[in-house]
Structures are given as C-alpha cells and as structure tokens.
Amino acid sequence: MLNKIIICLSMITAAAACAFCQQQTDVIYRDSLTLNDCISIALRYNPQIKIAEGNYEYSSASLKGTRSSILPQIAFQTGLTRNGGTSFIGPIVREGYYTNYFYGFQAQQLIFDFGKSYSRISAFADLRDASEQDLAGARQNLILNTEIAYFNYLQAIRVREVTEEVLKQTQEHLDQSKAFFKAGTVAQFDVLKAQTDLANANVNIISSENNVRISKLQLENILNKKLPNNVRLQDNLEVKQDSVRLNSAINTALSTRPEVISSKYSVDANKALVTSAWTANLPSISATAGYNWRTYAVDVPFQNSWNFGLNLSLPIFQGFALDAGIEQAQANLKSIEASNDALVQAVSLDVQQQYSSLDEAHERITATRALVIQSEETLKLAEARYKQGVGSAVEITDARVGFYNAQTSYIQSLYDYQVAYARLKRAMGVLK
C-alpha cells in the first residue's frame, strides 16, 4: 500500500513539473526586453515562419527527388511462384506442380536524354532558390510586424504617462480652485469646471490603459508568447536613423528584395520547364543490368543468370499531350514574366511611398516638438494668470488640452517615424 502511495505522489509531482515546464515555454520570464529580443522570440516561435520553412524544405525535397532521375536506380527483387497444371505424355494425362523461387538485383541508368532531365533539375533548383527567398521575405515581414507592435506598445505607454501627468495637474488645479473659492477669489463655476476636467482626465486614463493592454496583446500575438505584467521595453522612439537617398533605395530594392529575387528565379525555372517540355519529343537512352538467382525447390542449388541491355525510347505520338505540355509551359512562362514586370513596378512604387512617409514623419517630429514647447509655455502662462486672478478656468482647460494634444502628436510622430523607417527598409529588402 505504501509503495502505491509513493508511486502516485511521484506521478503527481512529475505532472506538476511538466505543467511548470509548459508554463515556462508559454511565458517569457524577463522583466526587460529590447527590440532585438522581441525579434528573436518572434522568429523562434511565430507559426508563420514555420510555414515558410516547411515550404522551403518541401521545395528542397522536390529538387532532391528530381535529381534522382539521373542517378542509378537499383532494386532488389525476390519472390516465389506456384505453378500447376496438366500435361500429356503419350496418351497419359498427368498433373504436375512446382514452385519457382528467385531473388536478384536489377539496375537502370539514364545515359542521355538530350537535356530533358537536366532542364527539369535546373527548373526545380530555381524553384528551390525562389522558395528560399520567400522564406527570407517571410522573415522580413515578421520582423516588420514585430517592430510595429513593439513601437506601438511603446507609444501606448508614453501616451499613458502623459495622461497620468495631465490627471495629476488636473487634480492640483481642482484643489487650487477649491481653495480660491473658499477664499472668495473665484466663482463656483471654476470649481465645477475643474471637476469636469478631472472627470475627462479619468476617462482618458481608462482609454490609455486599454490601449496599453491591447498593444501588449498585439505584441504577444506576434511573439506567440505571453509577457509578464511588469515587462519593460527599451524605449528607443528617438530618431537615430541613417539617411538614405531615394534613387539608391530603389536600386537596392530591385537588387536585394527577396520578392524580386524570388520572381526572377521563378522566371528562370519556367524557362527551363519550357525547354524540358520541348525536349520531351526527343529520344532517351538508358542502360539496364541485372543479376538473378532461380531454383525450383529450396533444397536445390540456385542457378544464377545475368542480363545487360540498352534501351532507346522515342515518342512517336502521344495524343498531342507533348504539344499541350509545351503550350502550357509557354503560357505559364508568359504569365510569370508579366508578374515579374508588375512586381518590379510595385516595388519601385512601394519604396517611393515609404520614402515619402519617412520624410513626412521626420518633418512632423520637428513641427510637433516646437508645438510641445509652445503649448507648454501657454499652459504655464495660463496657470500664472489664474493664480494672479486675471485668468479664467476656461483658459486653463484650453491650454491643458492643447498641451496634451501636442504631447500626443509628438509621441505619434516619433512612432510614425520608426515605423516608416522600418517599412522603408522592408521595401528595400534590407530589414534584418
């Protein structure tokens, strides 16, 4: 009985340990994360990367299977056959039965098929390379999405800090208004106005807290991992990026972007498939060889035999299937070439748009930074006037709202710049 109890306790302990290990893999137990940390986590756990990796592995296996057509094909064969029937020996009919045992090896080697197999191998090699570029593109897309989620989370945190500061200022103004009202220097309207401003500030706090929660969920979705509630992200919204010229960005995109390279490989692959379809009309020469052992009874020694031969196969008429195959390959090549041209145009346009967005975001940073300084001075002036009894509660509210909006716009411009820069690097195909 004691042994059974010990076994049960051991099983429960093991199950708890497994559950804890599972929790360890589901949650990132780190209090601070950098952008590179988040990118590494996303590349490791996000399922989209696994899909792209699976597609690449499939194309690599397809290339390996295609190459097998030019390698020797060796097979081991064995079996037995039971034979029976009647035979005539003079006027006498006799029944006879015997068993045929055999085993052996058979080999076949393609000698020459006028480039038919090599064209297919070349096509599948290009398709494998295209799939590799698709994997690189998927990695860059995931990195971009991670950066967007990362900066979005930082933006939400910064906006929340601004709303908390506004709430603190609003509370101080309400206390001040109450004191002035008791002293008889302001009307009750100022107190009511300050209370309304405090209620609005509380509403903004609720909204900013919700934005922080949502942005954290979005980041966790990209990482495919849970983050601790007290996780801190390295705040790097400040502008510290290298400049790039538009023409250089376009040239870089057309030469390094994975989608463009993948499309070129696809064009080359379909050209090779057209060649392979055309050479299907040409003959193929192969060699065969084998070595076998046969006997009619297990207790009788096996008799060996060998064979060697050359085979020539020339398609004469296949019901127009070969012509149809050539036409299909040519039509597919035409479509792929047109898609490649369209992709080049789209990539060029994408780079120009992202470059323009980056310029706009950079200009807005300068403008909103000046707006923050001006609105802060306006708020200080309105507060000073109110303390001196020459200002009004409306001035305080307008100045505080203007200062809050200016800070929010400045934070938004910093976020937009970081995202625009990441999008430009993705458009150029250099996001890593």
SS (H, E, C) 299-359: CCCCEEEEEEEEEEECCCCCCCHHHHHHHHHHHHHHHHHHHHHHHHHHHHHHHHHHHHHHH
Give the pLDDT confidence score for residue 280 in this predicted structure: 84
Q: What is the average per-residue pLDDT within 323-343?
A: 92
- Whose CA is closest to 417, among 294, 259, 241? 241
pLDDT digits (tens, 9 = 90+) for 334-373: 999 999 999 999 999 999 999 999 999 989 999 999 999 9
d(CA 388, CA 227): 49
Q: Which residues contact 32 (CB under 8 A, 6 or more apart)?
A: 231, 232, 233, 234
Predicted local confidence at residue 19, as pLDDT: 44
Strand 92-112 and strand 303-313: pairing? unpaired
Domains along the chain with CATH numbers:
28-71+114-280+320-428 (1.20.1600.10), 73-112+283-314 (2.20.200.10)
DSSP code, position 377: H
170: tokens are 């609003």
Q: Determine the average pLDDT of the residues in 239-250.
A: 80
CA distance linking residue 426 with residue 357, whole number of Å: 14
Q: Given a cut of 70, is residue 3 above it in pLDDT?
A: no
Using CA atoms, how far apart are residues 321 and 376, in angstroms rounded to an integer?
A: 79
- pLDDT band, residue 20 (cuts 50/70/90): very low
In angstroms, what is the C-alpha Rg of the chain? Answer: 38
Query: With 50 as the cut, is the pLDDT of residue 59 above it?
Result: yes
Q: pLDDT value at position 117? A: 87
Average pLDDT over residues 298-317: 83
Instruction: DSSP letter for 27, please.
Output: B
Tell me what pLDDT residue 44 has.
93
pLDDT at residue 241, as a whole number: 63
Q: Residue for token digits 């079996």?
A: 79
Q: Full-prediction pTM beyond 0.75?
A: yes
Of the listed ranges 81-95, 241-255, 279-293, the one predicted with least confidence: 81-95
The model's confidence at residue 9, banded by pLDDT at 50, 70 and 90, is: very low
The proportion of the chain whose per-residue pLDDT surpasses 90, expressed as a percent, equals 48
153-177 pLDDT tens trace: 999 998 999 999 889 888 988 888 8
Nearest to 104 by CA among 309, 301, 300, 303: 303
Rounded Cα–Cα distance for residues 432 and 415 (Å): 19
What is the average per-residue pLDDT within 96-116? Answer: 85
Beta strand 92-112 with 284-295: parallel, antiparallel or unpaired? Answer: antiparallel
What are the φ/ψ torsions at residue 290 (nearest 5 degrees)? Answer: -160, 160
- Tell me the average pLDDT across 295-315: 82
pLDDT at 114: 85
Q: CA-to-CA distance for 147 and 425, rounded, in angstroms? A: 12
Number of residues assigned to the chain: 432
CB 249 within 8 A of CB 424: yes
- At residue 28, the pLDDT reads 66
Neighbours of 88 (CB within 10 A): 8
Instruction: Say yes or no to pLDDT of 88 above 70.
Output: no
